[in-house]
Structure 1
Amino acid sequence: MSAVRAALRISRRDMWRAKGRSLLILVMIGLPVLAITAAFTYTSTSELDPRERLRWDLGAAAALVTDTELVGPVRQDAERAGLLTELSGTTRPPLAKAEIEAVAGPGARVIRSFEGYGKYQERDGYRDAMIWEADARDPVTTSRFHLLDGRFPQAEDEVAVSDVVGVPVGNILRVTRDGIAKRVVGVVRASPPAAGYDVRQIITLPGTLLGHVNGDSHRSRWLIETRLPVTWDQVRQANEKGLTVLSRAVLDDPPAIGDGQDDVGGYRPSLSWNEPLVAAVLVTQVVLLAGPAFAVGLRRRRRELALIAAQGGSARQLKLIVISDGLVLGAGASVLGAVLGVGVARGIVAAAGQWPDGELGPFDVPVGMVAVIVALGTLSGLAAAIVPAVQAARWDVAAALAGRRDTRRDRAGRPLLGTLVAVLGGVALAYAALSGRLDAFIAGALLGELGLVMIMPWLVRRIGPLAGRLPLPLRLAVRDGVRNRGRTAPAVVAVMAAAATFGMIVVVSDSSMARDERMYRGPYTQGTTAIYGAEVTEESWRTIRGIAAETLPGGPLIEAFIPVDAKGEPLRPDLLERGCDGCRVYNAWDGLPLGGPDLLRYVLGRTDPAAEAALAAGRAVVFNQAGVRNGEAVLTLPPQNATTDAEPARVSLPATFVRVDGPAPASGVAPVSAFTSRGYAVKLTHLLVDPQVRRLTPAEVRRLDGPVRAVTARVAVAAERGPDNRGLRGLHPFIIAAALIALAATFSATALAAADSRGDMETLSALGARPRTRRAVVAGQAALIAGLGVPVGLLAGLGLAAVESAQLAVMFQGIPPDWAPNGYRFPDPGFVLAVPWVQFVAVAVGLPLLAALVAGLFARTRVRVSRRVA
């Protein structure tokens, strides 16, 4: 222990004496710890646990009862009432208020509410929102919401909305596709997304809105106001009747976790095995970055350590001193990084805002995870000092005291062992591609990186013979890198790892967009502008046609119709036989629209004279071969807003089968005359602007939208823009961060190389080398490190992205064929790998050049006279 204390004292004193080198190591270790701590703290703050959600789930109530409308018993999670582990498949009518009061117990007051999802109109179409029907003026329910402006609804035509809806007090909100007008009388702060609710909320009185939402489910919920706690026994009694209960008392004192009759699996945050694997990868990055810094610092301390050895210090004690450097610097950097990380997270949370000023919950520091991060940071410092410690024990003491360079060669790596480890990593990645396991993916990436660490010194040595044909500065830089392989190889691998991260994220982002494009199936061809509405009168359509003709002069409009019954109810013509193997019709239009040759060309995606001739002859053109038998197609005509289970009418039409070239949004096209000749009236539902004729700009769509929607609230204008890739914008910060890390790794490695070769630079100056030559040598060192690490890293990132794409391909193949509606199987995108070669080439060439330029500009060129000892 005395030797350990002495080594720690020496390390602490050396850290203060060499402040620049120590600061560099502190930054290399502390920055990753800071970033990880800030990320985990922010995530812990944004992800609310059940107790933190009580403010929005219960308000001032003691419990929240949800009627599942299932015949009991059901089994629920104690802390997340919506998580059911056992449930019955038999449904029943909703329970009455008296039955809920019996469950709540004597003296309890119950307040009924309804929660469901519906739509409201915006300028560019419809948006989903959570509709909450209850009397928000009740003190029990009022505390669930933070009122920003106005008041809560008091009449049936009034609503309050969350602030993200963007409709101020006094304006009219059109709700549901029927365009029901509601006056906004209040604006509330949106609930945090992690609270389990859609942030777009509409609050209204009971029975005023959800009854108009067709096809959207909604459930009865009851807030329980009582002075007595709602116990777990009461919860289990409610479960017997098909009710779930979120109880404040149960959250405060949850039941035991187990498999018994009265036990339940509660919410318990746990540490996933993937998180330690990710941490292991980050530790490896820190070791690769900090290892060369320890090696350079060790060479600066050669004389000091040689004096200790000359006075009787053993090799073990020299190792202990160097490892103590790693312990002191690693622990100090980790603690400092963790403290600063919590502070950075606190600043981000303060800027983002906590509810009700923002979307985040109470500030929460995951102390256990932060402790693990600090331990891993300390471990990374120790690991980074191991190799320099072994080198210190092997020094020639006499040469070190004389100031001569250690002439022994650096180890040439372990190419055979490294190849074996890299192959194991490849096997793990192959298994990850086939199984979709994230832990196998991370383990494979880690093993592959370790294998390259072992192989890299051998690879660096192989480039030595190539230096003879290079200009003098580059030749000196390459030979210096080959001679100091113990410093160059880890620096190259560190740059390679950062470039691999950048390459993987870029390829994953582009592949995700390409996959979305391949899988996307919209109701219209991409680029189409549609004016649509099923409940628009003919007079309104005439006005809308005039507005469109004035706004879009020369732009032909394609018309689509639907049949209506004797009562004027719109019908949905659909094929009676529509099942087909590998069907390419996804029925976005719910059957066969009615129209002419222009609509057929639009839906079919090409010009087909034979199909147009059949349509003109009064025959339906059907894209599903199973739907045509003996030259006829049998269509069912269910009402679009069916309120009964009555058998829909049927009609037989002469039909012609036409094979589609690509995915079609409808089962075919029927002529208008085929229905009018059978006594049906037709109604216009769509006016389409064909993108092959004219593709409207967003400004033109907005200019068309206002006047059209001013005619009637039952019409909408929408532009088909393809898949929404806004979610991938979250990758942009990671792409920028990866690029900055690659730059930082390159510059750090170059700075270390320049510091370690300062004696050689002084020798060059003594021989008459100009400052320009010395700058060129430093620039060559940067070009060598980045030129080796960046291209290899980009290729490695491409390989990792390929594994991720293979995992997704396997996942999509596992989707059952009958998962999608209408018998259509959503397309299997297969293996999608989109490589942005322009970005790859720009980074592979530009980053080494940028590193060389920056290193050359900031290189020290001042001559310093050094004492030489022969």
Structure 2
Amino acid sequence: MSVFTGWRAALRIARRDALRAKGRSALVVAMIALPVLGVTAADVTYRSSVSTQAEELTASMGTADALFSDPGLGGGPIAQMPQGDSYQQAGAEDEGESGTATGSASGSASNSASDSASGGKAGPHTGPPDLKAALPRGARAITRQDVLATVTTAYGITAKTITELDTADPLVRGMVKLVRGAYPKTDRDIVANDTFLKSAGLHVGSHTTVRGIDKTFTITGAVEVPTDLKTGFLYVRPGALIKPWQRAAAADHTLAQPTPGGRSLFVKAAGGSGVSWQDVLAANKHGVLVESRSVVLDPPPDSEVPMASQFSGSDTGSGPGLRLTAALATVVTMAVLEIVLLAGPAFAVGARRSRRQLGLVGTCGGDRRHIRAAVLAGGAVLGGAGAVAGTAAGLVLTVALRPVIEGWTGTRFGGIEIHPWELLGITAIGLVTGVLAALVPALVAGRQPVVESLTGRRGVRRSSRVMPVLGTVAIVLGGAAAVLGGLKGRAMPVAAGSVLAELGVLACIPVIVGSLGRLGRFFPLAPRLALRDAARNRGRTAPAVAAVMAAVAGTVAISTYTASTQAEQAYDIHRTLPPGVLSIHADTYGEHADPARALGLARGLARRDLPVEGSPATVSRVWAGSDCDRFDDADTDACGSLTMPKPKANICPLQAAGGKDLAARLSADGHKQLMNSPKCRDAEYADANFGGDSEIVVGDSAALRVYAGLKDPAAARALAAGTPVLLNNAYAGADGKITLKAVHRYVAEDKANRERHPGKARTTVSHLSVYRAADRYAATPGIRMIMPQATAERIGLHTSPVAVVYRVTRQPTDAEEQRFDDGMSLANGGASLWQDQKPDNSDATLLILALFSGVVTLGAAAITTGLAKADAEADLTTLSAIGAPPGVRRTLSGFQCAVVAGTGVLLGTAAGAVPAVAVRLTDLKRALDQMKLHPMDSAYTPIVLPWETIGILAVAVPVLAGLLAAGFTRSRLVLARRAD
């Protein structure tokens, strides 16, 4: 007889059994399909979101053959790499200096010298290159050029970059896409993307005016830049804005000249031959940077690339590929683990429900092999159904959620990329793991005596006493290995130790579940029954708890690491204003600047348009010598200076001799404490928010209260009495005084200052007694000392109002900012709004992880509850028979579900913290090593638990699981004969 004959019968039995027990089969299929769905969706999403090189070129240059641009190196021949991402002045190869050009989101290269030539060697300035002279013969080109302009909105005005580009030309297809409306047809038409329209309160058909030249445009269409959905874009026809603006400024000298960005050309070669590498080299001789489609897709040999020798030793590496492979392997392993843990109990319950049928197989001559085959066939049937359903659902879900995913990432997919072999592999994994999940139940069923199977008795089975001991040892050893690996900065021990510790927790779960029954004595009937049922049927409960733990552990680990790195990044951010403070700065540049008038207007507009609270504080800048901001051609080195030298004894120890040795002895906390001390607080930089590197301002007690948050009556009295308030005590000497060094110089045009301080340039030194604030105020951004007006006048310094500062209840919205800016412009301007942008720590990844863990937790709890109902139907019948109220069934199901979800979440939280802490210790070791080389670099490596995510998982998910289980359970009495 063929070996397949027995399997044919087993598959037939499995198919009929699956159709007979539709509820249990649906649960198994759902839990196999869920991880397969997740892996399928992740695979398709990743493949679709990663752009091919051809798609990236289309996003940067449309359908053009090449993009010609000004590299901003000051003119003269250049050398570049074939991709156009690295370039330098020709002849600088031996010096190893190069610049880097990066295409913007809308497809233009960075053309300013400061952006594109940082680190590059600029030759003699010969002006911008002639882009058209560098074109291949017969090529067609269209021009792109940007200019920053102020445009009107529905709320006021806003500053935006407007691009002159023929968006209707076929050369830009794929780079700019029309969503609705029409492309510009005249020089009075403009198109914008939805991001700008939403922030400006405008729509297709609205009008917007460019302030200055007062040219009004009609918004004829809404466009989309597929590579950047979160930035506002505006497009007009070439020649519609910059040239009219230049002509108007030439006729009216009071009108500011526009400051266009560098030009670029989208080039289509004649005859469709493309732009060759020889064409690129010819354009380089004209000083033009070229990104050619054909060259990027088919690079020339290194022998033809002048810069190739500088990159011959570059390590392309396989680090990202290896990390991606490791990540995919981890995801697949987690999916397999969850399938086995969740589906295994279902097959075990199914085998027990079918034990009489399996016993009959034995009475008909079947041996253990045939019984095992029948149970394994059930795994194959349900596993195959779940794998196919999960793969199909993953595809459908990805397509349905594509707009949401693109909104999160800020970029459009090039298309839905489906790799059939990968999806087939995922489906096969679902099928194989379905069989693996049925393996243990098959072995147990094969060992069960035929008589016991026919009578329905389960017998008594004791839990293993060895596994908890091994699990405890694994937890201790794994946790120790992970922590020690983190302290040593080695990734492999961290990974191996974390996995070992989690496996140890898995081994201990049956004992933990068994101990839950002892807690039942403290609870009413329904939760007591739920706890004791979980403990008595730990073979069914423990795998479900383990599956929840596995899902939650991964989420908690990644969430903890992400929250910790976000806290580290927030600590490293250099704030320009204190939290909750908004500053309105007056323009001080130009001979006609009137800061006092501008700030007076700003106060009224701020009360009307901005979410300010309380009275504002006026801050004045202070300087010695000439006010250079008033003169276009003033030599700032000849205008005087005001400095507050720090005593040598108060120099930051990390910057003094032996700073590296000190850093090597410090811990991360010790380094943080030292860097936050007044001596080191401003050792790296000066804010100079209010003019001058001295960070000294003139103000009164309101400046102390509103800006610095210093509500000290003694400090206010000191200011009123003419004593400056020192916020950074490191600038005070041993005698408690500070030293001011003022160098007075004057330019010829500064007649007012000449009359006030006649004679040659002079230097004055003042020693002032100060009121010293607490050390924590040394961290106040932009200010070291607040000086009274009378003291500044007494020592011969100049002052002028520069800003008014407010406390705000929240960050102003776009509409409020635009309304304020419009009010200032209508009053002839003179002031601008400054605010410290709060770092965006919102991470959609954390939300997705929490939702994924919540879904798995709910699914696992639902599976276990359904299995418990199927497995304990006789017990529920007994409850009904002895007079239990109808609601007991409902509440019992709810508590059974909550017990599984809550236990798994708590264990998963503990298990997930281990790898997160270990990895952060690895980061700490790396930061400490870096600090030894660069003593001023921070080694602050916090460990922050994501309490919001943990709260959702630990409280909301179990409660929701219990309520759903209770809501979907029938409470009516079902009387039946119990047969044991």
For the superposition of Structure 1 and Structure 2, which TM-score range results when normalised by the shorter chain?
Answer: 0.7 to 0.9
Work out which of the residue numbers 271, 284, 292 in structure 1 matches 2:345.
Answer: 292
Aligned to 2:900: 785
Cα deviation 1:737-768 (Å, max 9, x = unaligned): 43343233222212212211223333445566
Identify if the C-alpha distance between structure 1 residues 34 and 185 changes in structure 2 by more than 3 Å, giving closer, same or farther.
same
Offset, 1:728: 3.3
Contact 1:511–1:833 under 8 Å retained in 2: yes
| Aligned-partner residue type, residue 64 of structure 2 | A
Aligned to 1:727: 842
Contact 1:111–1:224 under 8 Å retained in 2: yes
| Aligned-partner residue type, residue 788 of structure 1 | T
Work out which of the residue numbers 9, 14, 19 in structure 1 matches 2:22.
Answer: 19
What are the within-5 Å matches in structure 2 for residues 527-676 of structure 1? 527-535=580-588, 537=594, 538-545=596-603, 555-561=615-621, 565=627, 568-569=630-631, 575=643, 580=652, 581=654, 582=675, 583-585=680-682, 587-590=686-689, 591=693, 592-598=695-701, 599-600=703-704, 602=706, 604-606=708-710, 607=712, 609=714, 613=718, 621=726, 623=728, 625=730, 631-634=738-741, 654=766, 660-662=775-777, 663-669=779-785, 671=787
Aligned to 2:58: 55
Contact 1:69–1:92 under 8 Å retained in 2: no
Contact 2:931–2:938 under 8 Å retained in 1: no
Work out which of the residue numbers 78, 85, 91 in structure 1 matches 2:122.
Answer: 91
TM-score normalised per structure 2: 0.71
Aligned to 1:454: 507
Contact 2:722–2:790 under 8 Å retained in 1: no
TM-score normalised per structure 1: 0.79
Structure-2 separation of matches of 1:734 and 1:32:
13
Any gaps of 5 or more consecutive residues in structure 2?
99-119, 250-254, 655-674, 747-760
| Aligned-partner residue type, residue 596 of structure 1 | G
Note if 1:833 corresponds to 2:944: yes
Structure-1 separation of matches of 2:821 and 2:146:
31
Offset, 1:383: 2.8
Note if 1:343 corresponds to 2:343: no
Structure-2 separation of matches of 1:48 and 1:749:
42
Identify if the C-alpha distance between structure 1 residues 682 and 576 changes in structure 2 by more than 3 Å, giving closer, same or farther.
closer
Note if 1:108 corresponds to 2:139: yes
Offset, 1:190: 3.2
Work out which of the residue numbers 222, 225, 230 in structure 2 matches 1:191.
Answer: 225
Contact 1:81–1:244 under 8 Å retained in 2: no
Offset, 1:73: 7.8
Structure-1 separation of matches of 2:835 and 2:183:
36
Structure-2 separation of matches of 1:786 and 1:687:
55
Identify if the C-alpha distance between structure 1 residues 577 and 62 changes in structure 2 by more than 3 Å, giving closer, same or farther.
farther
| Aligned-partner residue type, residue 39 of structure 2 | I
Offset, 1:709: 5.1
Note if 1:170 corresponds to 2:207: yes
Identify if the C-alpha distance between structure 1 residues 827 and 782 changes in structure 2 by more than 3 Å, giving closer, same or farther.
same
Aligned to 2:752: none
Aligned to 2:976: 865
Aligned to 1:38: 41
Cα deviation 1:249-276 (Å, max 9, x = unaligned): 2455567999997999999995432221
SS of the aligned residue for 2:974 comes to coil
Structure-2 separation of matches of 1:219 and 1:447:
58
Cα deviation 1:797-819 (Å, max 9, x = unaligned): 45555456556656766777999
Structure-1 separation of matches of 2:399 and 2:125:
46
| Aligned-partner residue type, residue 208 of structure 2 | N
Structure-2 separation of matches of 1:488 and 1:628:
71
What are the within-5 Å matches in structure 2 for residues 263-302 of structure 1? 270=321, 271-302=324-355
Cα deviation 1:332-379 (Å, max 9, x = unaligned): 32222112211222222368889xx99443232344543443233234
What are the within-5 Å matches in structure 2 for residues 42-441 of structure 1? 42-68=45-71, 76=81, 78=83, 81=85, 88=98, 89-92=120-123, 105-109=136-140, 113=144, 132=163, 140=171, 144-147=175-178, 161-166=192-197, 167=200, 168=202, 170-172=207-209, 183-184=216-217, 189-193=223-227, 200=233, 221-227=264-270, 228-232=273-277, 245-250=290-295, 253=298, 270=321, 271-349=324-402, 359-409=412-462, 411=464, 414-423=467-476, 425-427=478-480, 429-430=482-483, 433-434=486-487
Stretch moving more, 681-690 or 804-813? 804-813
Aligned to 2:801: 684
Aligned to 1:762: 877
Aligned to 1:497: 550
| Aligned-partner residue type, residue 172 of structure 1 | T
Identify if the C-alpha distance between structure 1 residues 501 and 254 changes in structure 2 by more than 3 Å, giving closer, same or farther.
same
Offset, 1:66: 4.6
* Identity rate, percent: 28
Offset, 1:678: 8.5
Stretch moving more, 205-214 or 60-69? 205-214
SS of the aligned residue for 2:53 comes to coil
SS of the aligned residue for 2:843 comes to helix
Identify if the C-alpha distance between structure 1 residues 696 and 367 changes in structure 2 by more than 3 Å, giving closer, same or farther.
closer
Structure-2 separation of matches of 1:50 and 1:105:
24
Offset, 1:400: 0.3
Structure-2 separation of matches of 1:142 and 1:779:
57
| Aligned-partner residue type, residue 761 of structure 1 | L
| Aligned-partner residue type, residue 863 of structure 1 | V
Stretch moving more, 322-331 or 517-526? 517-526
Note if 1:711 corresponds to 2:823: no
Identify if the C-alpha distance between structure 1 residues 679 and 631 changes in structure 2 by more than 3 Å, giving closer, same or farther.
closer
| Aligned-partner residue type, residue 806 of structure 2 | V
Structure-2 separation of matches of 1:161 and 1:221:
20
Structure-2 separation of matches of 1:718 and 1:655:
33
SS of the aligned residue for 1:224 comes to strand
| Aligned-partner residue type, residue 224 of structure 1 | V
Structure-1 separation of matches of 2:363 and 2:256:
88
Identify if the C-alpha distance between structure 1 residues 116 and 420 changes in structure 2 by more than 3 Å, giving closer, same or farther.
farther
Structure-2 separation of matches of 1:410 and 1:7:
30
Identify if the C-alpha distance between structure 1 residues 135 and 743 changes in structure 2 by more than 3 Å, giving closer, same or farther.
closer
Number of residue pairs aligned between Structure 1 and Structure 2: 842
Cα deviation 1:454-477 (Å, max 9, x = unaligned): 221233334455656766655554
| Aligned-partner residue type, residue 743 of structure 1 | L
Aligned to 1:747: 862
Contact 2:570–2:839 under 8 Å retained in 1: no
Structure-2 separation of matches of 1:496 and 1:234:
61
| Aligned-partner residue type, residue 623 of structure 1 | N
Stretch moving more, 274-283 or 707-716? 707-716
Offset, 1:388: 1.4
Identify if the C-alpha distance between structure 1 residues 152 and 534 changes in structure 2 by more than 3 Å, giving closer, same or farther.
farther
Cα deviation 1:376-407 (Å, max 9, x = unaligned): 32343233222212212221222102222243
Stretch moving more, 388-397 or 489-498? 489-498
